[in-house]
Structure 1
Amino acid sequence: MIKLIAVDIDGTLLNDQGQILPATIQAVKQATAAGKKVVLCTGRPLCGVTDYLKQLGLWQQADQYVISYNGSLIQTTNRVTLLSHQLQFNDYLDLLELAHQNKAAFSLLTPDCMYVEPEDVNEIILKEAATVSIELQQQSAAKMETLSDLVPVKGMVLDEPAKLDQLEKVMPAEFKQRFTVLRSQIDHLEFTHPLASKEYALQQLAKRLGIKPAEVMAIGDEKNDLGMLKTVGVGIAMGNAVPELQALADQITTDNNHNGVGEAIAKWQ
C-alpha cells in the first residue's frame, strides 16, 4: 500500500494555466484523509507553493512536508527545516564570475529571498521572482558578504537561451562535480549542493517517517523527476511528460490539463 505520494508542481500538479484542477484537489484531500502523506517536490521555494498547499489543505501543519529547491530543503509546511543542503559564499562568487564572464545574469536564492546584482536585473529574473512569490533584493557581492545570516541554497543563471547554451559549453568540468547542475527551463540554469536532488530528499523523508521505498509513489513530468521515479515503488509519468520520463515510468497517467495527478492517485495508490 502506498503511504507517501510525491508530486511535482509545474507541468504536473498545475495545468497550463497554473491552476490545480478541482478534481485534483479532491483526490489529494481524499488521500490525506486516508492517512497518506502527499508531499510537493519542486524546484520552487516554500513561499512559491504556499497558495497550493492552502488549496490542498496542507498548509501550516507540523506533520505535512515540502521538498523545495529540487531537494535542497525539506521543510514542514509550518516552516520547520528538517534538511538543508547549502552552498558556500565562495560558491556564489565563483558562479557569479562564471555568469559574468559569459555576459549572463546571475541570482542567488535563500529560503525566502532572491539576491541579484543591480546590473543583472532582467525580465526573466523579474518574472521568476513573481512566479514563485519570492522577495527580490538588489545587492552587490560586497554587500552580500556582510550579511551574517545569509543562507545560500541555489544559484540560478537566468538569461537568454543562447547565453546559457554557451555557458554550458565553457563551464569548467569541476563545476559538474562541485554542484548539481540542472537546466530546468530553456532560460533557467540552476546550481545546487551536490547532494541536493528530489530523489535523495524523498528517500531521507521516507526514512524519517518509517516508510519503505516500495510504499512511495512519485508523479512528475520533466527530466529532473527521473531520479525520483527510479527510486520509488510506483513511478508515474504525466501524459505530457518528456519521452525519457515516460520510457522510465511504471505507469503513465493523463496530462496536467486532464487531472493526471488525481487519476494516478485514484488508480495506483
Structure 2
Amino acid sequence: MAKYIFTALDGALLNDLGNLTTTTALALNNLGAPLSIITGRAPFELNGVLKRLQTDAPQIAFHGALIYAPRTGKKGLLGAWPLEALAMMALVRSLLASFPDLGISVFDAVHGYAVKEATGERYKLLGRKRLEVLPLQELFDTKLKEVYMISLMLPEAHLAKAVNEFLHRLHLRDIRIVTVGDRQLDIVSRDARPTRGIDYIMTRYRLYAGDIVYFGCHYDEVRMADFAGVQIAMGNAEPALRADADYVTSTNNDNGVAQALQRFKLL
C-alpha cells in the first residue's frame, strides 16, 4: 500500500481538457493515501481538484515558490519564496515595451491578475479562468503585497527564444525562468524549487522513498529517482521520463493514474 502520492497536475492528474475524470478521482479516493500536487499553477487553480480528492495534505505551487496547506488561507503557508515586487513591476514594464503582444499575468498567494490579457484560447487549453485585467501601476499599488510568479503567454512559439534572451540580458540574479510547453514562460524566485516542498513533506510525514509513488509527465527539475520508490511516467510523458520510470502507464486522457494504481494493486 502506498503511503503517499506525489503527482504532476497538467498531463498527469488532468486530461488534455484540464479535467479530473471521475475514474481517476475515485481511484485516488479509494486509495486513501495523502496526495501532494507539484505544479506551476496558482493555489486557487487547484481548489476544485483538491476538494474532489478530499485531501488536506501540503501542496507545491508556482514551481516550488509556495508550499501551503489547502483550506486554511494565508495561515496555511508552510514555505514561501516571493519575488521582489518593485523589481517585478519594472520587469513587466520592460517586457510590455519590448514585446507588446505578450500576455502577462501576475500572481500573489491568493489571486491572479492580467496586466495584458492572453488569448482566450490559450487559457481555455490550460483549463484556466479568465483573470481580472488591471493597469500595471494600479495592480502593484493597490492589489499586490507579494508576487510569487509572473506568467508570460507567447502569441507565437518562436518568440520564446527572443524573450528568454531578453530576460537573460537583464542579468536579474534573483529570478528563475521556467519553460512551460512551447508558448509559456514563468518567472519565479531563484530559490523556488519543487524539491524544497518535497523535502518538507517527507520530513513532516516521516517518509522514505519506498513509501512514495510519483506520477510524472515532464522531465524537469523533479528527478523521480531522488525521492520516489515507485516512479510512474504517464504514457504521454516526455521520452526521457518514460525511459527512467519504473513503469509507463496509459496517457492522461485514458485515466493513466487509475490504471497504474490498479496495475500495482494499490487499490
TM class by shorter-chain length?
A: 0.7 to 0.9
SS at match of 2:68: strand
Select the residue among 241, 252, 256 that pairs with 1:256.
Answer: 252
User: Distance between the aligned counterparts of 1:129 and 1:97, measured in 2?
Assistant: 27
User: Distance between the aligned counterparts of 2:118 and 2:22, measured in 1?
Assistant: 35
Q: In the alignment, what sits opposite 1:85?
A: 81
Question: What is the Cα deviation at residue 27 of structure 1?
Answer: 1.6
Q: In the alignment, what sits opposite 2:44?
A: 47
| Contact preservation (8 Å) 1:108, 1:154 | yes
Q: In the alignment, what sits opposite 2:6?
A: 6
Change (3 A) 1:107 1:257: closer
Question: Unaligned stretches of 5+ in structure 2?
Answer: none
Question: What is the Cα deviation at residue 12 of structure 1?
Answer: 0.6
Question: What is the Cα deviation at residue 190 of structure 1?
Answer: 0.5
SS at match of 2:203: helix
Does residue 210 in structure 1 map to residue 206 in structure 2? yes
Percent identity of paired positions between Structure 1 and Structure 2: 20
User: Distance between the aligned counterparts of 2:35 and 2:204, measured in 1?
Assistant: 15
| Contact preservation (8 Å) 2:6, 2:214 | yes
**Per-residue Cα deviation, 1:202-240 (whole angstroms, up to 9, x for no partner):** 12122122212342221111233x514242222211011
Moved more, 45-54 or 147-156: 147-156
User: Distance between the aligned counterparts of 1:15 and 1:162, measured in 2?
Assistant: 26
Q: In the alignment, what sits opposite 1:20?
A: 20
Give matches, 1:41-120, under 5 Å.
41-58=38-55, 63-79=56-72, 80-103=76-99, 104-117=102-115, 120=116
**Per-residue Cα deviation, 1:141-179 (whole angstroms, up to 9, x for no partner):** 3x3443486121001111222322211134326758532
| Contact preservation (8 Å) 2:123, 2:130 | no
User: Distance between the aligned counterparts of 1:45 and 1:219, measured in 2?
Assistant: 20
User: Distance between the aligned counterparts of 1:220 and 1:129, measured in 2?
Assistant: 20
| Contact preservation (8 Å) 2:6, 2:212 | yes
User: Distance between the aligned counterparts of 2:237 and 2:139, measured in 1?
Assistant: 39
**Per-residue Cα deviation, 1:1-56 (whole angstroms, up to 9, x for no partner):** 63211111111111223322332122201221xxx211122211121122212222
Which residue identity does 1:116 align to in structure 2? A
Residue correspondences, number: 258
Change (3 A) 1:101 1:165: farther
SS at match of 2:177: strand
- TM-score (normalizing by structure 1): 0.83
Give matches, 1:123-138, under 5 Å.
123=119, 127=123, 131-133=127-129, 135-138=131-134
- TM-score (normalizing by structure 2): 0.84
Change (3 A) 1:200 1:128: farther
Give matches, 1:222-261, under 5 Å.
222-224=218-220, 226-232=221-227, 233-261=229-257
| Contact preservation (8 Å) 1:66, 1:77 | yes
Give matches, 1:163-242, under 5 Å.
163-172=159-168, 175=171, 177-224=173-220, 226-232=221-227, 233-242=229-238
| Contact preservation (8 Å) 2:123, 2:129 | no
| Contact preservation (8 Å) 1:112, 1:134 | no
Moved more, 127-136 or 40-49: 127-136
